[in-house]
Structure 1
């Protein structure tokens, strides 16, 4: 299934498949065996999980589009960390002083700032709150950003205002590849791999494709290989390992609630299984 397939088509496809399956049961002239029921259940489970994966993919696409739009709205914003905080301060003046003195940009003035304030609530912490600065001009914003190397040796640092998903991906990338091998530019996360190759990502899923978390080992395929052939209908689900069984039972419950008419079909399946024994 295509991840961009409309939701209405996915729902209609699920209903058509269920109708076809139920119709085949009603017109079948031969008694339904346990093996046939198990095969039908396996086919239905595979189809249902495929539908759920399609829905998950659609949610990821929508979330990615929303994240991209949000990041574009933050294009002119920078965060200043480590600027000393005082009572009744003028944050714009503090930023101008920091930029002209530390970043060596004498042309930067308060008129080029459209928004400037501390982030978070004022507290009694030892660390000053970061200052959010939105610059009117993209060119000046980039000049400030690329001059951040002049802050080396000071207590002030500069960062982009990433969205939460990108911030989490960036922090995870630094843990896996090292601080010196990860940086951001225009809202994108750039990574230098162990082989020296450079990569650009925007999300945690892309990072996991590049380098899975340490200790991550897929166990589902090996577990499925150890499943014994079911002796009765109940073992089709309850013979699975605990994690997989919970997942299948959850899918059954959600699909049954969505279709609404799954009860009669389940009772007919159970009755035919008893008759065949």
Structure 2
């Protein structure tokens, strides 16, 4: 953050200096100085180029900072999971609901309400479908046991997912659209992809995703075989016979 602040301050000083110089040159032109409009235009283009390069550098720094914040948030969510499809009731105890669900379906030894540090419904209440339950476990070992038992929920109407940041959730959704649901999954906050050539990739950002999607080879269309010379001659003769008129 301090680096970004310093870059903004330096850019602001440079822009003010350049603008003052440009204004001074404009005043000279208006006072019939030997300074020509052509030289002024060249100076303006140089200033414009400097601004764009400075803004690009600043944008890269902001992206790097945003990436670091996203990685920190992902590490904070390492002990958390989302539980979907659980009916929502008023004045409910979500920790008790999760504990009962784990006992009924996951068959985990030594799992109890004390294994859950906190739990709550995510987002605003909706009438259409129940909100997912955010579950924060006491440690990552318990969380991983619950996560790897997710296949036991098949057919129950309940599902689990990792609690991704907004950025990574967007990447995950786009990856599924491009490569298919069965070829994309998440693990510890990272998106894993199997591409059409069988290669495995791990991505965190949209730029990561787009860099691998652009390298995929499109399937080569099958070429229809050209008729052999004898077949071509026979085909021509049959066409001639069809078009011949009887006298």
Common topology (TM > 0.5): yes
Partners of 1:121 and 1:4 lie apart in 2 by 36
**Structure 1 pair 106/44, CA: closer, same or farther in 2 (3 Å)?**
same
Q: Please list every run of 5 or more consecutive structure 2 residues that lacks an aligned counterpart in the other structure.
A: 215-247
Aligned counterparts, 1:144-183, within 5 A = 144-183=146-185
Hey, what does 1:102 align to over in structure 2? Answer: 105
Q: What's the TM-score once normalised by structure 2's chain length? A: 0.72
Number of positions where the alignment pairs a residue of Structure 1 with one of Structure 2: 210
Deviations 1:52-78 (A, max 9, x none): 111111221222222222222111111
> Structure 1: where are the runs of 5+ without partners?
213-277
Q: Which of 196, 199, 219 is equivalent to 2:198?
A: 196
1:124 to 119, 123, 127: 127
Listed one character per residue, the Cα deviations across residues 7-61 of structure 1 (whole Å, up to 9, x for unaligned) are: 344444555666777889999xx94555544433332222110011111112212
Q: Separation in 1 of the partners of 2:157 and 2:103?
A: 16
Secondary structure of 1:196's aligned partner: coil
CA distance in 1, matches of 2:200, 2:39: 52
**Structure having the higher Rg:** 2
Q: Does 1:42 align with 2:45?
A: yes
Query: Does residue 84 in structure 1 map to residue 123 in structure 2?
Result: no
| Pair 1:21–1:87, CA change in 2 (3 A) | closer
Q: What is the TM-score of this pair, normalised by structure 1?
A: 0.65
Alpha-carbon distance between aligned partners in 2 of 1:81 and 1:94, rounded to the nearest angstrom = 12
Q: Is the 8 A contact 1:191 1:198 kept in 2?
A: yes
Taking the aligned partners of 1:21 and 1:84, their CA distance within structure 2 comes to 66
Most deviating of 203-212 and 78-87: 203-212
Question: CA distance change for structure 1 residues 207 and 31 in 2, over 3 Å: closer, same or farther?
Answer: farther
Instruction: Say whether the 8 Å CA contact 1:118–1:132 is kept in structure 2.
Output: yes
In structure 2, what is the Cα distance between the partners aligned to 1:87 and 1:24? 71
Distance in 2 of aligned mates of 1:18 and 1:193: 51
Report the 3-state secondary structure (helix = DSSP H, G, I; strand = E; otherwise coil) of the residue aligned with 2:110.
Answer: coil
CA distance in 1, matches of 2:172, 2:45: 40
CA distance in 1, matches of 2:81, 2:14: 47
Deviations 1:117-169 (A, max 9, x none): 222333432x2211111100111111111221222222111011111111111
Higher RCO (CA 8 Å, separation ≥ 6 residues): 1
Specify the alignment match of 1:7 in structure 2: 8
Give yes or no for contact 2:4–2:62 (8 Å, CA) kept in 1: no
SS at match of 2:60: helix
Please report the RMSD computed on the Cα atoms of aligned residues, expressed in angstroms: 3.0
